[in-house]
Each structure stands twice: as structure tokens, then as C-alpha cells.
Amino acid sequence: MTAAIRPITGAAHGRILSVGSYRPDRIVTNDELCERIDSSDEWIRERSGIIERRHAAADESVADMATVAANEAIERAGIAPEQIGMVLLATVTHPYQTPSAAAEVAHRIGTNGAAAMDISAACAGFCYGLELANSLVRTGSCAYVVVVGVEKLSDWVDFDDRSTAFLFADGAGAVVVGPSDVPAIGPVVWGSDGGQLDAITMTQSLIEYKTEGGDIFPALEMQGQQVFRWAVGEVAKVARQALEVAGVSADDLDAFIPHQANMRITDAMVRALKLPEHVPVARDIAYTGNTSAASIPIAMKAMLDAEEIPHGGTALTIGFGAGLVYAAQVVTLP
């Protein structure tokens, strides 16, 4: 017989309760990177807007950085770690196929054996995690969810590749998502385009490296113009859709926090969106570089702490990257 399964009830809505972040100590200047690539501080600033970035220490892991950011978010949320039902950790740079970084972080931040898994959605990973967390809270599967975006991209960059060496960096950002009486995470607009797998990929797979070898450990490689065209064309449309489905106009925004891919992409997106001039735009890439899944929560926290954007204000977040994959939503700022 088919037994009746008891239904569960979740929260009416989900919201971001808090945000935490971690930036590694070591500042890496453009000049330092130019010792290995044929480029210049001026060229890098013009093409990417990056003035400096942070690299993690050799003995500092993805899980280490994620733990610091998650602890800060939990403390700011004012909840106990035992209340967390799930740790979702977005990364592409955890150097183990298994076990996940999320399980380690769930243990280290003191959850009571919370569910844990990593998400591989590159630079869209944080926004993917945010929607999953929102869904978990609303279905009742979890009361609170920690979403972490964390990367140690410096382990996976070829520092002799002049198109990527200056771009990618390290860091972590985390939020706690919990229940809300009013909608505070708008409907997500997300998707993928596997027809452009080659736009951002690895120079070879780990298995190819193992069997065929090579001088260079698998590293990130990117078709910059292809990515730029996609980001400014298709992804900007996604941002507009996220506003529409949330019933929010660009004029209502208190912040635009796109993935910090490249300052030029941010500038072009702002133009494509016809974003009103009064809306503050995240430009954290200047001092943080492109930290993939970590970039949105790192930028969000920096803008809140600097009082550039208001607690409880309305922000548009959009992540996009390798896959290609993308996700955008309107959120109420913690």
C-alpha cells in the first residue's frame, strides 16, 4: 500500500540574515605579476580595473577561508551554529574530488552534523547557492542555511598566461539564509549554455595531465572577447529579467552587485542595463581581483561595512561564468 507521508511546512519566505567575508593577507600588485608576463600595471588597470588582488598563503585552504567567512556570517546573524541545517559551499578550487569542502566547513563551524555539499557553478555559484538555500528554507527542509562562495584560484592559474594571471584571485564570502515574513529573495533567473563550454575552461583535465603529462599543471583558460560579448549581451538581459520577475524597477535599487568578473564587464553591463546613476555599483574587483564564487558576498559585505549601501536596502545580484552558467535575483540586503 502507499502509506501517507507527513508533509512539512517551511517558512513563508527566505532572506539573507547576514554576510561575512575573508580576504587573505597577502596583497599582490600588478607589478609583481608583470615580472612573469609581458604586460604592465597600466594595461592591467585599463583592461580589467584591477589595481591589486589577494593571494592565499600556501598552507591556507579553501576550507580555511570558508570557515572564517562562515563564522563571521553566523555571528552577525545572531544564531547558534547548531541551528544550521545545511552548508552549501560554492567553489571550483577545492583540490579534492572528494570529500567535499562543505562537510569539513560544517564540522569546523560547529554545526550539529548539518547536511553539506559543494556546488560547482563557477562564478555563478553563490547565486545558485542562494536560490537553493531560499528553496530549502521555504520547503521546511532547513531552518537556516549557510551559503559560502570561496576560491583559491591562485592554485589553478598559469602565472605565465598574460590573459588570466592578473585576473583571478583568492577569498571567501558567506551568508546565512533564514526565514522571513516578507519576500526578501526574489525569483531566480538562471540557466546554462553548454554550447560555450570552451569559453572558460581548463587547459587539460587532471586525467590527461596524469596520463600524458605536460609542463603546466591544468590551469584556467579563457576566451576573453567571447566571455565579454556573452556577459554584456546575454547576461545583461538576465539581469533585466530578474528585475522584471521581482517586480522591481532599476530605479528602486539601492545596489547592483554583479560578479566581479572584470571592471570593463561591469561598466558595459551598467550601460546595457541603463542603470540610473544613483544606484551604487560594486567595484570591489579593483582591490580584490576576480574571486569567482566569492566575489558577490565579499563585495556585498564591503559595501555594507563602508555604508555605501543600506542594511535592508534592495540589491540586484548576478553571477555568471564557466559553463557557461548564470543566475540572478533581487534580494533584500542583510
Partner 1 sequence: MSQEILDGLAVIVNEVAGVPVEDVQSDKSFVDDLDIDSLSMVEVVMAAEDKWGVKIPDSEVKNLKTVGDAVAYIAANQ
276 is an interface residue for partner 1 by CB under 8 A: no
In whole angstroms, how close is the CB of 42 to partner 1 at the nearest point? 12
Cis peptide before 253 (omega within 30 of 0): no
Q: Are 171 and 150 in contact (CB under 8 A)?
A: yes
> Whose Cβ is closer to partner 1: residue 80's or residue 197's?
197
Q: Cell digits for 10?
A: 517551511
Q: Cell digits for 136?
A: 530549502
In whole angstroms, how close is the CB of 226 to partner 1 at the nearest point? 6
Write the binding mask 44 to 73 for partner 1: x where contact by CB under 8 A, - elsewhere: --xx--------------------------
Q: Are 315 and 253 in contact (CB under 8 A)?
A: yes
> Whose Cβ is closer to partner 1: residue 98's or residue 225's?
225
Strand 200-202 to 220-222 pairing = antiparallel
**Order of strands across the sheet that contains 84-90:** 13-22, 170-180, 144-152, 84-90, 115-119
268 is an interface residue for partner 1 by CB under 8 A: yes
Stretch of 103-111, 222-230, 301-309, 311-319 lying at the interface with partner 1 (CB under 8 A)? 222-230
Binds partner 1 (CB under 8 A): choice among 2, 97, 98, 225: 225
Q: Cell digits for 310?
A: 543600506
Q: Cell digits for 322?
A: 564557466
Q: State the first-to-last Cα distance of the chain, in angstroms, to the nearest integer.
A: 47
Binds partner 1 (CB under 8 A): choice among 264, 286, 287, 310: 264
Stretch of 28-36, 55-63, 122-130, 228-236 lying at the interface with partner 1 (CB under 8 A)? 228-236
Concerning whether 127 is annotated as a catalytic residue, the answer is no
> Whose Cβ is closer to partner 1: residue 9's or residue 225's?
225
What is the set of active-site residues? 123, 259, 290
